[in-house]
Structure 1
């Protein structure tokens, strides 16, 4: 991560300023030691204190210059770290939106939230401490050694030259051990974050099943794992700090011994010996500070590397996308046409674990992600399209491709006559509203959650969207109305109410395309039918593609796409498919059998 610092915007002028300040600070350190040694030597020789006022004044001036340079370096590093941290957070959030909900499901929501919130803070702390320490380690010891070697004592300079690499090698060895422990701690932290979010999401279900108390053991086990990893890391940190201070002390002591004997024998004067002795700790100080701060900033370094990997993954995906031809019309209107020819999506089995989010119904029993193969579809204008099929048929994968969250591995896509590699262009995504199984409710007011896709919406627009989505009764029952806090720390909502909030978001955004992936799969049948009555009238004038395994929705769809093992088995209206007595007819027969 340290080697990649130079790619951050504005770091070169910041490094130049801090290098200059470090140079001035080092000169101040040398002059400070020189004048302090002169004053002490003179006093030891019998001079009066009043006669040393000039030397003391020069010492104080050098001391103030040193502290001033240190303060300026910290301020410069803090400002750069703050700007870089904010920029990195925006980049990561932007890339997460580009990668889509499937990536979030794979990485874990808790892990990503923790990374964006706490990880950025830790990375900022890493930059703030690391940059000044790195420059001081490269400049200060070199200048101090040259001064000692040229003007003071060559023997002491040789001792300093020999002991510093030993100290650095020792620090590297300890750092490798600490890094291994920190990586384990970061992994357990990710597990703890995801486990905590999953526990919160499933708390109602656990209580309903009477398993909430037994879940305590699971929470305790995960928490103990993180506690143990943290204690191991702290143990390494404390032992390494002690060892680093111990070896530094031995190095300074060896310099003191090499000066003490010649001083007693009269082979060296007090002034140069005292100056070397004062400068010796300053020579080792930057390395000691790097060692001391290494453990404090290592988790920030790991967080930075994790965020960079997300950005790199998004850029790698973007590099696979063919550029959109100039002048291409990607708007969706009643006259628009979307054609999929021979579309295929294949996945590695080891990447397949659905994380309980959208597309979980498509997890194939073998453990591989669902795939599409040879999908040929043509979608025109506005209307309601249902995508039906058994679990693992490829419904969610098709929705992810249409939403631009997945890139097809074979086949072609044509939108309004323009051939595209995939549907990830921003111009297409800006027209889509995606409603998953479990829409995310942010910690904030009900109004804030509704206008998430349109932050500048007026109060009247928000209220109108909420009423249209069937939230009027809920709003009137809340003490704060639309300003009532919901989400984390606020009023909990039922599954049906959360879906209504997601529907209100879609209505307020006024986007022409709505993609729904099993939006009612976790709801009871009464709530589902109630929500259905609200949703259907609101789909008018839009292109709505609804993936579900609930067949009762299909009677209200204008067109039905039947998926079977990643292929389109048949398409048509409800009556046409029943008359054909194919795959759709078999699904309806199975459902009727199950209802008996």
Structure 2
């Protein structure tokens, strides 16, 4: 119900005493309300007239106002704290995901990750407010009210003392049942998120192959599982609320019955009996309020645990590269026995390649041969199962998952992501402090001069802004690389695979100047790139079938000859 990690949030322990003080003040004004109400009714009962009851009525109004004031300040205080905490948590989450790289995002699922970062953080914000306000109220308020009832009429307090633990016990029993249901509901929600996002991304492909209706049925069945899980969770949550309401109402009724009998026998006077009876519902109120928001609390807890799971994931960062690397004609890299195996037993095995100076390296092979896996190892997005890297004069490096390596590399993927923002912000992704003159120069080199002239650097693009074509998006990625003067190691993953041949050749003309005085790794299955490459690494089912120049392999490597023939059709 309550995750202990919640109480480790930064700044929470400093704020807990203030929240506890507000709970104590609330308890006192509740007792004050009961006192003045009982005083006014007793005065009227004894026939003393309305004028004698006016001070008590005013006192009740003041206590009521103070109670609402306490609630207002507590809510405002918790809203501010929860909002600030959620912003910081979302920032930490996105920063963590960025450090973990695309492999983590793929493994978790983009839809699930997006849900966690958006609605999940909102659930956590609600969770923080509910737990901090209602849990402390549930602990402090009943204790102080019980003390007041004991002073007024200790025999009546016995009913409260006996029934409160029973209510707590039922809440715990039903809570465990609801928690299991809520976990299944949250898992169904994450699966539904992944399915929905995948369908949006692939709707054009699904329609092209006539599979959109089949996938729609898949989403329908997934949403039905989520609906069923939600209803089961709600049924237990409603049952929990009903049980608490039943026990609290039964307790108050029992207490009222015994007080009435004792009043008739003259054992107790009207004022203490009435005040104790007024306090009885207030005694159970914090518990009932907590139960009424129980489902929201469970959702928040599951979201909080999902966020913490991401934040606690080991980044596996290497710290052997002491500073960003500026590649020169004297630099060198050697891959020794580099191997990466996935659970499916796919990947790459025993890659041995030596590179020196400014070299353009092509990584070629059929689909599923391991091109993307090797590129992920070179970019530091993935850690090898075995093998090492040797860069310049450094010792053996077990992984390129290093912050300084990331600062040395520019990555151009198949599908460039355009952020919702200005054209300037998107172009200066690697160099946020770049001047407008430098940005315009980089855009010109990437063939975006006309776009910049027509739109301007302050034009909004991406979600909610101007839409760019596939070719323009790839040119934005090129401009980012041109602008980054300190990153002269470039990795390209099929940068023109999804473009038509005319646009592809235009993009290629912009890319080739980018390769000058740089170390380049290009994963491709396009033949027209190969003659411009200094070195070609040929992969087949994760194994290296050959390493050499295009002409050398074409003359002596049988598998390369076969691969080229297949590519030509």
The reply to whether TM is greater than 0.5 is yes
C-alpha spacing 1:324/1:156, structure 2 compared with 1 (3 Å): farther
Q: Cα deviations across residues 70-97 of structure 1 (Å, max 9, x unaligned)?
A: 2222222112211211111111111101
Determine which of 481, 492, 503 is the counterpart of 2:478: 503
Shift of 1:111: 2.1
Partner of 1:260: 260
Shift of 1:588: 2.1
| 1-structure distance, mates of 2:229, 2:118 | 21
Q: Cα deviations across residues 13-53 of structure 1 (Å, max 9, x unaligned)?
A: 11121112212222222233223222322221222333344
Q: What SS does the corresponding residue of 2:362 show, helix, strand or coil?
A: strand
Q: What SS does the corresponding residue of 1:571 show, helix, strand or coil?
A: strand
Does 2:322 correspond to 1:345? no
Q: TM-score, normalised by structure 2?
A: 0.91
Aligned pairs for 1:266-285 within 5 A:
266-285=266-285
Q: Cα deviations across residues 458-477 of structure 1 (Å, max 9, x unaligned)?
A: 4443333333223345566x
| 2-structure distance, mates of 1:154, 1:32 | 20
Q: What SS does the corresponding residue of 1:412 show, helix, strand or coil?
A: strand
Q: What SS does the corresponding residue of 2:187 show, helix, strand or coil?
A: helix
Asked if the contact 1:329–1:418 (Cα under 8 Å) also holds between the matched residues in 2, the reply is no
Does 2:172 correspond to 1:195? no
| 2-structure distance, mates of 1:239, 1:466 | 62
Does 2:92 correspond to 1:121? no
Root-mean-square deviation (Å): 2.7
Shift of 1:369: 5.9
Q: Cα deviations across residues 120-151 of structure 1 (Å, max 9, x unaligned)?
A: 122111111210111111111122223322x1
Asked if the contact 1:329–1:416 (Cα under 8 Å) also holds between the matched residues in 2, the reply is no
Shift of 1:377: 2.9
Shift of 1:582: 4.6
C-alpha spacing 1:26/1:190, structure 2 compared with 1 (3 Å): same
C-alpha spacing 1:193/1:337, structure 2 compared with 1 (3 Å): same
Q: What SS does the corresponding residue of 2:293 show, helix, strand or coil?
A: helix
Partner of 2:416: 439
Q: Which shifted more, 38-47 or 208-217?
A: 208-217
Shift of 1:310: 0.6
Q: Which shifted more, 516-525 or 3-12?
A: 516-525
Aligned pairs for 1:7-156 within 5 A:
7-149=8-150, 151-156=151-156
Partner of 2:389: 413
Partner of 1:361: none
Shift of 1:562: 2.0
Structure 2: segments with no counterpart, 5+ residues: none
Q: Cα deviations across residues 373-426 of structure 1 (Å, max 9, x unaligned)?
A: 333333333331111223333222221122221122323333332333322221
Aligned pairs for 1:555-594 within 5 A:
555-592=531-568
Asked if the contact 2:418–2:426 (Cα under 8 Å) also holds between the matched residues in 1, the reply is yes
Shift of 1:228: 4.4
C-alpha spacing 1:218/1:502, structure 2 compared with 1 (3 Å): farther
Q: Name segments (4+ residues, structure 1) moved above 6 Å.
A: none
| 2-structure distance, mates of 1:22, 1:482 | 53
Determine which of 436, 447, 450 is the counterpart of 1:470: 447
Does 2:494 correspond to 1:513? no
Shift of 1:455: 3.4
| 1-structure distance, mates of 2:442, 2:232 | 53
Partner of 1:307: 307
C-alpha spacing 1:317/1:165, structure 2 compared with 1 (3 Å): same
| 1-structure distance, mates of 2:467, 2:222 | 26
Q: Which shifted more, 576-585 or 211-220?
A: 211-220
Does 2:309 correspond to 1:333? no
Aligned pairs for 1:315-326 within 5 A:
316-318=314-316, 321=317, 323-324=319-320
Shift of 1:255: 1.7
C-alpha spacing 1:269/1:381, structure 2 compared with 1 (3 Å): farther
Partner of 2:379: 403
C-alpha spacing 1:463/1:558, structure 2 compared with 1 (3 Å): same
Q: Which shifted more, 168-177 or 250-259?
A: 168-177
Asked if the contact 1:383–1:540 (Cα under 8 Å) also holds between the matched residues in 2, the reply is no
| 1-structure distance, mates of 2:264, 2:494 | 88
| 1-structure distance, mates of 2:477, 2:318 | 32
What number of residue pairs does the alignment pair up? Answer: 565
Q: TM-score, normalised by structure 1?
A: 0.87
C-alpha spacing 1:258/1:512, structure 2 compared with 1 (3 Å): farther
